[in-house]
Chains A and B, each alone.
Chain A
Amino acid sequence: MERKPIKILSAKQISIQAPLSEEWMDNPLNYSEDYVRAVDPDFKQFISAGDARRMGKLLKRALATSLSALQEGGIDNPDAIITGTGFGSIENTELFLDALVREGEQLLKPTQFMQSTHNTASSLIGIHTHCHGYNSTYSQKGFSFDSALYDAWMQFRIGRIRSALVGSHDEMSPVFSGFVRKAGHVKEGEICSEAAVSVLLAESGDAYCTLDGVRLVDTPSADDLKAIVAEFTASGIDAVMTGRSGNSENDSWYGFLDSFLPGIPQLLYKPLFGVNFSSSATGFYAAACCMRDGRVPSVLSVSGKPVECSKGILVVNVVEGRHYSFSLLKPVCGR
């Protein structure tokens, strides 16, 4: 059976780069600090002041990137809303936890508890857009976006949906930024950051590119990796978007790409967007923007030279040396 291509209609970010824009492609913000919070846009165009007061940063950013992606893609009511988050609204979680531990089990705030639940972003977007369709949330550390994208991919293939808003959102409080360093989630030489990314997928509409495949695999053998890379690059790619950050342990997980894709330029997004549980979504977003423009800006390329972008980009994410994800972006036919 001929399957309709899944198109990426829009992709939006709020991160440590200029929000809701692709300014980073030519004029990136550079940081020397090792913990940087996101640059927020003016939320007034998306959320009333009253609503905004009740929402933590993660919710405001999730709503802003979502509404912005829906607007550009020209879809009001996506058939599915699927979200990833590693920690959920960690600031409200921390406020509730801190009060519980330091002040005891009295006078705790229901709003903080409610926002500590990981699915609040997906639900909020559902409530705001009146979408009664498929709605789910994944929380698998730095693999949360990848899981959400995989689910969306399956929902299309099973024929249940024709459009999906897929996002991943993580905020980072000062206290938890210390925790994730201690735990090794963010490593030496990496910027601990925040990110909110929303991507609109649909079977029809003007698109940046198509999403031709998504594969997740835990603890693959070298042969497994070789086979997956061969399958995903059979029709040719221009570059591979990797989660290499400059940290030697993290970068060693991507060594198989040197072996199996010799000569293919490797692109890096973590030096630009930092590291958090939604990092892989920033890499996917950056790759989609490159496909849209038909060029990879020099700021992403290891060699520092721009790369032409006409055949496709393979996006690869490896978490803790065990969770591997592959997603393939290809040009829209006839473009």
Chain B
Amino acid sequence: MQDRSVLITGCGIVSAIGQDCGQVLDSLLKVRTGVGPLKYLKTGHTEFPVGEVKLSDEEMERMMGIVPGTPTTRTALMGMIALHEALGEAGLNAQDLKECGFVNGTTVGGMDKSEQYYLDFIGNDSRNAYINTHDCGSCSEMIADRFGRFRIITTISTACSSAANAIEMAADMIRLGEADIVVAGGSECITKFHLNGFNSLMILDHSQCRPFDAERAGLNLGEGAAFVVLEEAGHAAARNAKALARLSGYGNACDAFHQTASSPDGEGAYLAMTKALKEAGLKPVDIDYVNAHGTGTPNNDESESQAMKRLFGSSMPPVSSTKSMTGHTTSASGAIETVICILALRNGFIPVNYAFEHPMENGIVPNMDLNEGCRLRHVLCNSFGFGGNDSSLVISAAE
């Protein structure tokens, strides 16, 4: 197969630490957490801090020029904001999209409206339009259709690795010549449904989450969306599109251990990282930074630590979990953290693992120093999901 290398020529993000790349960069450099008391979600569980996007649905509708009353969902609205930024940066218009693919990652989909209107769905016809926004696929269509018609649309739903797997599929499409440009990422809003779900699994921290800390007590749920424009190198050069970074390798593996727990030795995580490095043609020592999955749950951080120790041995690169600032944005996290990695590569710094204090026994000690002015060449971005759906991306500086 001829080599078709995959560049990133646009990215867009909305999260608890900022509503575009500039704001997110500022928060990362000032080490400012977006996790705080609940404001937008209507739930009785106000005891849990969350990483909400600091916008109401109505504010997002106005930003996107959506006519009030048009059926939409919070996941779709956040996705539109991030996609708008990504397409703008890559200089793509509606006409261009006819030749592009779109791969979205989501799991919650339109559950925010379903949990609000469920009794109407059963009892009357007043909210039927929102039945059509319930499923994951309709969410991708709402996001994409706001900007035109893509040539292929599909949706990946592998829980918390959904967006990472969407980026992997998109890259495969480019490498095989199925398309020259594929936009990929993910979107997920906080709902009562999964806040309560994670609570029923007893993995939510009642205070600010502390990934990789000995006293960590769970995750903080976050929300947001991010998309990257993946483009074949020759195609980008021909239209003078600026490369922000290069996707040099990626790996997907299954832990095949348990539906909601990671194996003690982090086999799936280890395999995903190993495959990603192999595809990139790199050795562990070439990796300058790892953006860990690092949810803050006792189980994930232990398992991921073991996997990284197996892979990197004594030459552990700086590692941090930016979920300490964004919260765990679940299906969107792979894309949100990909954009964070791109910001780190382009601006020469290493994101800090906010709120870390106490090293865990046999764990890794996360990065606490921004190292501003450093030169990063290759970074690894981990996304692991329920069911052991583990994925890793290698993102490299654009030459």
Binding site for B on A (CB under 8 A): 1, 81, 85-88, 96-98, 100-102, 104-105, 108-110, 113-114, 116-120, 122-124, 126-127, 129-141, 143-144, 147, 150-151, 154-155, 157-159, 175, 178-180, 182-184, 216-219, 277, 323
Asked if B135 and A141 sit within 8 Å, CB to CB, the answer is yes
Which residue from A87, A118, A135, A219 sits with its C-beta under 8 Å from B252? A135
A129 to B149, CA, bound (A): 40
Asked whether any CB of chain A lies closer than 8 Å to the CB of B153, the reply is yes
> Ordered nearest first, which 9 A-B pairs have the shortest CB separation?
A123-B387, A113-B197, A135-B254, A118-B157, A140-B137, A139-B136, A139-B157, A126-B254, A110-B200
Asked whether any CB of chain A lies closer than 8 Å to the CB of B260, the reply is yes
Asked if B389 and A86 sit within 8 Å, CB to CB, the answer is no
B185-197 interface code vs A (CB 8 A; 1 in, 0 out): 0000000111011
Asked if A151 and B122 sit within 8 Å, CB to CB, the answer is no
Asked if B135 and A86 sit within 8 Å, CB to CB, the answer is yes
A277 to B178, CA, bound (A): 25
Asked if A218 and B151 sit within 8 Å, CB to CB, the answer is yes
Query: A301 to chain B: closest CB distance in Å?
Result: 31
Asked whether any CB of chain A lies closer than 8 Å to the CB of B267, the reply is yes
Residues facing A in B107-161 (CB within 8 A) are 107, 109, 111, 114-115, 118-119, 121-122, 125, 128, 131-132, 134-138, 140, 149-159
Asked whether any CB of chain A lies closer than 8 Å to the CB of B371, the reply is no
10 A-B residue pairings within 8 Å (CB atoms): A97-B118, A102-B119, A113-B194, A117-B107, A118-B159, A123-B259, A127-B256, A158-B1, A179-B131, A218-B152
Asked whether any CB of chain A lies closer than 8 Å to the CB of B385, the reply is yes
Asked if A141 and B138 sit within 8 Å, CB to CB, the answer is yes
A113 to B125, CA, bound (A): 27
Asked if A117 and B153 sit within 8 Å, CB to CB, the answer is no
Query: B255 to chain A: closest CB distance in Å?
Result: 7
Query: Chain A residues with Cβ under 8 A from B155's Cβ?
Result: 138-140, 147
Assuming the contacts A118-B107, A132-B254, A132-B255, asked whether A151 and B159 have C-beta atoms less than 8 A apart, the reply is: no
Query: Chain B residues with Cβ under 8 A from A218's Cβ?
Result: 149-153
Query: A320 to chain B: closest CB distance in Å?
Result: 9
Query: B201 to chain A: closest CB distance in Å?
Result: 5
Asked whether any CB of chain A lies closer than 8 Å to the CB of B373, the reply is no
Query: Chain A residues with Cβ under 8 A from B169's Cβ?
Result: 136, 151, 154
Asked if B149 and A216 sit within 8 Å, CB to CB, the answer is no
Query: Chain A residues with Cβ under 8 A from B386's Cβ?
Result: 114, 117, 119-120, 123
Binding site for A on B (CB under 8 A): 1, 43-45, 107, 109, 111, 114-115, 118-119, 121-122, 125, 128, 131-132, 134-138, 140, 149-159, 165, 169, 172-173, 175-176, 178, 192-194, 196-201, 252-260, 267-268, 271, 385-389
Asked if A114 and B154 sit within 8 Å, CB to CB, the answer is no
Query: Chain A residues with Cβ under 8 A from B194's Cβ?
Result: 113
Assuming the contacts A114-B201, A154-B178, asked whether A120 and B387 have C-beta atoms less than 8 A apart, the reply is: yes
Asked if B257 and A127 sit within 8 Å, CB to CB, the answer is yes
Query: B242 to chain A: closest CB distance in Å?
Result: 27
Residue among A96, A124, A137 with most chain B CB within 10 A: A137
Asked if A101 and B121 sit within 8 Å, CB to CB, the answer is no
User: Which B residue sits closest to A151, measured CB to CB?
Assistant: B169
A87 to B110, CA, bound (A): 12
Asked if A100 and B115 sit within 8 Å, CB to CB, the answer is yes
Asked if A127 and B388 sit within 8 Å, CB to CB, the answer is yes
Query: A249 to chain B: closest CB distance in Å?
Result: 15
Query: Chain A residues with Cβ under 8 A from B254's Cβ?
Result: 81, 123, 126, 131-135
Besides A109-B200, A117-B107, A119-B387, 7 more A-B contacts (Cβ < 8 Å) are A102-B119, A110-B201, A119-B389, A122-B158, A123-B259, A139-B156, A154-B176
